[in-house]
Structure 1
Amino acid sequence: MRTLSNSGWTVLLPALAMAGAGWIASTWYRQAQHRVPAGTPVLLITVDTLRPDGLGWVAGKNATPNIDALAETGVAFSNAVAPAPLTLPSHASIMSGRNPAHHGVRDNGQNLPEGVALLADRLHEKGYGTAAFVSAFVLLKRFGLDHGFDHYDDQLTSGKEGWLDRPAAATVDAAISWIRQNPDKPWFVWLHLYDPHTPYA
């Protein structure tokens, strides 16, 4: 994975088994208003099927220096719990701050109901440029997590229908390219990576 510099960024790093925590969006948003200067760029990284103890900053067992460096100066949720054992419902919870019973997505392949406010909506209203770079079929824009984002990159490059994905390096490169092309206002970037997921390639 390419190194991402975190100079002047707020980095949200949920450490989760299935990339989810229903309160991340609302908790960060409330805390950030008091601790982070207005206009600070925000990077949210989610990784499917990554055990928390696989990251050095959580358990201290493995060397993951790039992620560890981001976590050191970011807002790291080391005790987050997934509200569902599935990618789409968990990400709907991260983005909405609601549990599946309250945002309406309980399974992959369902659509997020219109009217559910997401973190991207809130930051867009505050003048942020917003972009998402996802790596798995279950997070395609057609399932509804794209609202509030100026740019939602779900260009998947490998696999077959139903299991399409994109390697982490390609997703990171796309995100870095977008960030470099949008230097004029603060940004919120969601970077979703899928590599640890089955088929464990």
Structure 2
Amino acid sequence: MTHRRPNILFVQTDQQRGDWHGANPMVPVRTPSLDALRERGLLFTNAICPSPLCAPSRACLASGREYDRCGVPSNSVDWPSGTVNYHRLLRD
């Protein structure tokens, strides 16, 4: 049996509230491209952010680690080399 690689598009925006998209009738925004993706995929409606800072929050998500163990305590710190993350796992 031949194993196909998964076809995954993970959209992670910056400076956007989670409820501000076209699928929410309570907000006055239009997001036709995001709406088209949502109709063919998944929309997470209940989520938390592990850090108020961008880089640590993204590092937590990519590594599966909590903020104090993700290796990126602020936006000015680079990702530690060799850190296992889902981006590399999906690529490989």
Query: How far apart, CA to CA, are the structure 2 residues paired with 1:82 and 1:47?
Result: 12
- Structure 2 unaligned spans of 5+: none
1:83 maps to: 50
- After the TM superposition, which residues 26-175 of structure 1 pair with which residues of structure 2 at under 5 Å, given as runs? 38-57=4-23, 59-61=24-26, 62-125=29-92
Distance 2:73 2:45 in 1: 24
Aligned residues: 88
Q: Secondary structure at the match of 2:51?
A: coil
TM-score when scaled to structure 2? 0.79
The alignment's C-alpha RMSD in Å is: 1.9
Runs of 4+ in 1 over 3 A off after TM superposition: none
Distance in 2 between the 1:96 and 1:87 partners?
14
Higher relative contact order, chain-length normalized (CA < 8 Å, sep 6+): 1
> Cα–Cα, structure 1 residues 97 and 75, in superposed 2: closer, same or farther, change >3 Å?
farther
Q: What TM-score does the superposition give when structure 1 sets the normalisation length?
A: 0.40
Q: Deviations over 1:39-75 (max 9, x none)?
A: 2322121111101221122x23333221011012213
Q: Which amino acid in the other structure matches residue 84 of structure 1?
A: S
Deviations 1:68-87 (A, max 9, x none): 11012213222121111111
Alpha-carbon displacement from aligned partner over 1:128-157 (angstroms, at most 9, x marks no partner): xxxxxxxxxxxxxxxxxxxxxxxxxxxxxx
CA drift at 1:90: 0.9
Could you tell me which runs of 5 or more consecutive residues in structure 1 were left unpaired when the two chains were aligned.
Answer: 1-36, 126-201
- Give the distance between the partners of 1:46 and 1:40, measured in 2 at CA: 18
Following superposition, the deviation at residue 116 of structure 1 comes to 2.1
Aligned mates of 1:80, 1:97 — CA distance in 2: 14
